[in-house]
Amino acid sequence: MKARRLALLAIAIAGPALAAPSDDRFREANDLARAGDYPKALALYGELAASGQETASLYWNWAQAASARGAQGEALWALLRARELDPGDRAVVRDVERLREALNLDPAEIAPEPLAAAGRFSRRFRLDLVALALLALSLVAHGIVRVRLRVRAAAAVAWTGLVLGLLAAAVPVAASFARPTATVVRRGAPLLDAASPTAEPTGSLREGEVVPILEASGEWLRVEDNAGARGWAHVADARRLDVPPEPPRD
- What pTM does this model have? 0.85
Task: List, in sequence order, every residue forming a beta bridge with 239; answer none if it has no partner.
Answer: 183
| φ/ψ (deg, to 5) at 129 | -70, -35
Written in H, E and C, the secondary structure of 107-149 is: HHHHCCCHHHHHHHHHHHCCHHHHHHHHHHHHHHHHHHHHHCC
- pLDDT at residue 196 greater than cutoff 70: yes
Question: How crowded is residue 104: how many other Cβ atoms within 10 Å of its Cβ?
Answer: 10
Per-residue model confidence as pLDDT tens digits over 172-195: 999 999 999 999 999 999 999 999
Could you report the per-residue pLDDT of 60-112, keeping only the tens digit for each? 999 999 999 999 999 999 999 999 999 999 999 999 999 999 999 999 999 99
- What is the reported pLDDT for 7? 54
Helices (H), the chain: 2-18, 24-34, 38-50, 56-69, 72-85, 90-102, 114-124, 127-147, 152-175
Confidence at residue 19, expressed as pLDDT on a 0 to 100 scale? 45
User: 181-240: which CATH topology?
Assistant: SH3 type barrels. (2.30.30)
Question: What SS3 state is found at 240?
Answer: strand
The class level of CATH for 2-104 reads: mainly alpha
Residue 21: predicted pLDDT: 32
- At 143 the pLDDT is 85
Measured CA to CA, the distance from residue 121 to residue 78 in angstroms comes to 19
Q: What is the pLDDT of residues 158-172, one digit of tens each?
A: 899 999 999 999 999
For the chain, the structural domain boundaries read 2-104, 122-175, 181-240
Q: 211 by DSSP, 3-state: which?
A: strand
Cα–Cα distance, 180 to 235 (Å, whole number): 13
